[in-house]
Amino acid sequence: MRGTLVITRKELRQLFSSPIAYVALAMFFVVNGFLFYALVGGYTLQVLQLQGTPPPDFNPTRIIFTPLYQDMTFVLMLLVPVLTMRLVSEEDRARTMELVVTSPVTNSAILLRKYLDVILLFGVLLVISAIMPLSLALIGRLDWGLLGATYTGLVLLGAAFLAIGLFASTLNENQIVSAAIGFALLLMFYVVGFAQQAAGTGGQQILSALSISAHFSNLASGIVDTTDALYFLSLAGFFLFLGIVALEARKWR
Amino acid sequence: MILADALSRRYGDRLAIRDVSFKARPGEILGFLGPNGAGKTTTMRILTGFLAPTAGRAAVADFDVVRQPLEAKRRLGYLPETLPLYDDLTAREYLGFVARLKGVDGRKIGDAIDRAMTLCGITDVADRLVRNLSRGYRQRVGLAQAIVHDPPVLILDEPTSAMDPRQIVEIRNVIKGLRGSHTIILSTHILPEATAVCDRVIVINEGRVVAVDTYEQLAARLRRSEKTLVRVARPDGRLTGRLAALRGAVHVTPGEGTGEVVVEAGLGADLREEIARTVVEAGAGLLELRPLAMSLEDVFLRLVTHEEAAEEPRA
């Protein structure tokens, strides 16, 4: 773990030495802030129309935060490739990978460390994003169960996204190309559910089982199901495995 | 200490090295000499475990680099041809990162960094960003990186490239200071470097080992004749004739400078006394008389061209 933290400092230093990290993070917070503002505005209108007599199933958390975090996954699809693109690509370009690979560490350790680093960074993002519900908690009561399920979903979804982005970064020494590959893979898993109508009944089930959005919406609506958790974890595991294979294959190229 | 046994490496259709075998004895500095593209870097990358060999076996400190990579890598310091530096760190931070990566015990890291920095003469730039260092200092930070964990085996790919002559001398002294306690392979295409630093030289060309020996023995083996250079004040054609007539003289050719004549004799023959007498008797005014040693350039060129000449008929 000590080694991990050391690398994290180096990794963070490198990430924040380029303006792209600031641009990406600014984008993340500005877009989420705007969505939050718009959703709170919409909620206020709804409350005014109800004139103080809310129906029994009226849940402010569901009205504001469920759509907010649904939209946030889309923003993350754009942000994650930017966070992961340089993890391996930049080391390849700067030829520092030759130092890392010839050190007494295995390829899986190299990749897992980078993965943990970027997960930590992602965790910090999520913690900062929690300012939005916490600010409303000051003036009203929130559905903490629903929020907890949603954040569990975000962590799982982030773990899968980051593994996909990290894998993309092992393929190419050009960061931009790595980001593009990462984005393309994420987009594929995202839109695969959209084709459900076109497929037959069997196909529908398969496509929906592969779709990121379908699994996340379960969690974002408060249903914590091991199937969804397993989906994200196996997606993460599979792409980490592919990344390790990609590093191993370089020796034989 | 370092073993290469019939190593071959293929990139697609191209055979980068074939059947490369050699051994480095403990404590020795082995020079790896060859033109660019000869396969030096490929061989070194196999020894460090960066590339897997297509065929053959390599071992560092008796650990097979393919079967026991971690054990081999633990005992290895490597300076790649392209410096593996992180521009956003200071020299000290960078060495700290490498020390941890190489598995140096946490409490000893500070001492390890200081030792490496002192040896490589970079203490005065320790807290500057690597990005802002001059090429010479960057090279030295690269060398410090290779020795920070005090490995018994060092593999240095072109350790003095892009340095000025004074820095080259300094780095060579650092490397020579490691002799005995470390087994070192260093590659270079700068020939005098091999004579200045190395105990033995491996000459590699077109992916094959052409010769392995000490420089003196390589030179002796390739020398086909004894050459003596004579410089006189008043050269003329008759002197050349009289020198050519000496018993044992095979060839007499004009030298590069004015008044210079090169007398070639059979291997083992020493004509210096006769040459001196002849020149004095001719009244040509003897200014200089010395045996011409074969420079490493000559040795190298002869080995490499010899190899190419042997290749041609088959092609």
Q: Tens of pLDDT along A103-133?
A: 999 999 999 989 998 898 899 889 999 999 9
More confident call, A23 vs A246: A246
Instruction: State residue B241's pLDDT score.
Output: 83
B265 within a domain of the structure (yes/no): yes
- Residue B307 is predicted with a pLDDT of 44
Tell me, yes or no, whether B28 lies in a domain.
Answer: yes
Tell which of B186, B220, B254 closes a domain.
Answer: B220
* Residues B245 and B103 grouped into a single domain: no
User: What residues contact residue A183 under an 8 Å CB cut-off, 6+ apart?
Assistant: A77, A78, A81
pLDDT of residue A3: 45
Q: Among positive and negative, which fits the CA dihedral B138, B142, B147, B153?
A: negative
pLDDT digits over A12-27, tens only? 777 777 787 788 888 8
> B178 and B270: one domain?
no
Does some domain include residue B247? Answer: yes
Rounded Cα distance between B192 and B172, Å, is 11
Q: Identify whether B309 is part of a domain.
A: no
Question: How many angstroms separate the CA atoms of A222 and A153, rounded?
Answer: 9
> Helix, strand or coil for residue A244?
helix
Query: CA A187, CA A192: separation in Å to the nearest integer?
Result: 8
Residue B109 sits in the same domain as residue B234: no
Looking at per-residue pLDDT, the higher value among B29 and A203 belongs to: B29
Report yes or no: A108 at the B interface, CB cutoff 8 Å.
Answer: no
Residue B177 lies in a domain: yes
Place of tokens 């590699």: B204
Whether B6 contacts B56, CB under 8 Å = yes
DSSP per position, A47-59: HHHHTT---TT--
Residues B259, B206 share a domain: no
Last residue of a domain, one of B194, B220, B246: B220
Return the SS3 of B243. helix
Please indicate, yes or no, if residue B244 is contained in any of the structural domains.
Answer: yes
SS3 assignment, position B285: coil
Entry pTM: 0.82
Same domain for B241 and B215: no
Could you tell me if B73 and B207 lie in one domain? yes
Q: Which of B190, B220, B250 is the last residue of a domain?
A: B220
Tell whether B315 is covered by a domain: no
Q: In terms of domains, do B206 and B255 share one?
A: no
Residue-number span of the structural domain to which B206 is assigned:
2-220
Shared-domain flag, residues B172 and B232: no
Residues of B in contact with A98 (CB under 8 A): 45, 50, 78, 80, 82, 84
Which portions of chain B are predicted below pLDDT 50? 307-315
Q: Do A99 and B145 count as a contact with CB atoms less than 8 A apart?
A: yes
Number of independent structural domains in chain B: 2
| B264 and B155 assigned to the same domain | no
B87 touching A (Cβ < 8 Å): yes
Burial B123-144 (b: 16+ CB within 10 A, else e): eebbeebbeebeebbbbbbbbb
Chain A contact for B272 (CB, 8 A cutoff): no
pLDDT the model gives residue B53 = 95
Nearest to B284 by CA among B245, B240, B235: B235
The Cα–Cα gap between A248 and A107 comes to 7
- What CATH number is attached to the domain comprising B250? 3.30.70.100
Asked whether residue B159 falls in the same domain as residue B199, the answer is yes
Q: What is the CATH number of the domain that holds B53?
A: 3.40.50.300
Q: Do both B174 and B26 map to the same domain?
A: yes
A3/B100 CB distance under 8 A: yes
Judged by a CB distance cut-off of 8 A, whether residue A103 touches chain B is: yes
Mean pLDDT over A180-201 rounds to: 82
- ipTM score above 0.90: no
pLDDT at site B314: 38
The closest of B222, B198, B240 to B297, measured between CA atoms, is B222
B271 and B180, same domain (yes or no): no
Q: Is residue B314 part of a domain?
A: no
